[in-house]
């Protein structure tokens, strides 16, 4: 992952994630996330019984955005991403529950499940480096 993008993902905490239902209708949520640099995934936790629980199935495509914790109209900065939901068994292998609960200890008090987005594409817009400055990262396909 590009360092500027990785740094941005590490310093922020809230993402908007968009799913699609079986009729291709979009459905968005806002949620806390943790970025795991070692595997280029975003980790989320959700309560049981939510509408998006139905859409967070392995290999489902998602898209989202991440804005800074503090917005500045003069220095717009943000990320757009696409990726796929990773299976629960792989999520357990990555020990995402430990990573997430370390970042958000209060999450241990809320029953729920963890899910991951394997990032395929990330675009960082950073106008602090000049208007329209963009850095793009794409996951390299495995041979």
Local confidence pLDDT in tens for the 143 residues of the chain:
899 999 999 999 999 999 988 888 899 999 999 999 988 999 999 888 888 888 887 778 999 999 998 877 778 899 999 999 986 666 666 688 889 999 999 999 989 888 899 999 999 998 888 888 899 999 987 76
User: Residue 91: what pLDDT?
Assistant: 66
Q: Number of structural domains, the chain? A: 1
Q: Specify the pLDDT at position 53.
A: 82
Establish if 90 belongs to a structural domain: yes
pTM score: 0.88
Q: Give the per-residue pLDDT at 124.
A: 96
Q: Is residue 55 part of a domain?
A: yes
Domain coverage including residue 60: 3-138
Would residue 108 count as lying in a domain?
yes
Which residue pairs from 64-70 have beta carbons closer than 8 angstroms and sit at least 24 positions apart in sequence?
64/15, 64/16, 64/17, 64/18, 64/117, 65/15, 65/16, 66/8, 66/9, 66/12, 66/14, 66/15, 66/16, 66/33, 67/12, 67/14, 68/12, 69/11, 69/12, 69/13, 69/14
pLDDT score at 142: 73
Quick one: pLDDT at residue 101?
A: 92
Residue 143: inside a domain, yes or no?
no
What CATH number has the domain bearing residue 122?
Answer: 2.30.110.10
């Amino acid at each position: 992952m590009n360092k500027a993008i990785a740094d941005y993902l590490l310093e922020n905490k809230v993402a908007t994630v968009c799913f699609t239902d079986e009729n291709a209708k979009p459905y968005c949520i806002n949620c806390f996330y943790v970025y795991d640099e070692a595997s280029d995934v975003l980790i989320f936790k959700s309560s049981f019984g939510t509408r998006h629980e139905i859409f967070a199935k392995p290999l489902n495509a998602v898209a989202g955005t991440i804005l800074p914790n503090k917005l500045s109209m003069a220095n717009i900065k943000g990320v757009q991403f696409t990726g796929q939901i990773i299976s629960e068994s792989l999520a357990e292998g990555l020990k995402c529950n430990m990573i997430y609960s370390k970042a958000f200890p209060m999450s241990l008090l809320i029953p729920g499940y963890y899910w991951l987005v394997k990032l395929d594409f990330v675009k960082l817009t950073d106008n602090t480096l000049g208007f329209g400055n963009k850095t793009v990262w794409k996951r390299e396909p495995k041979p």
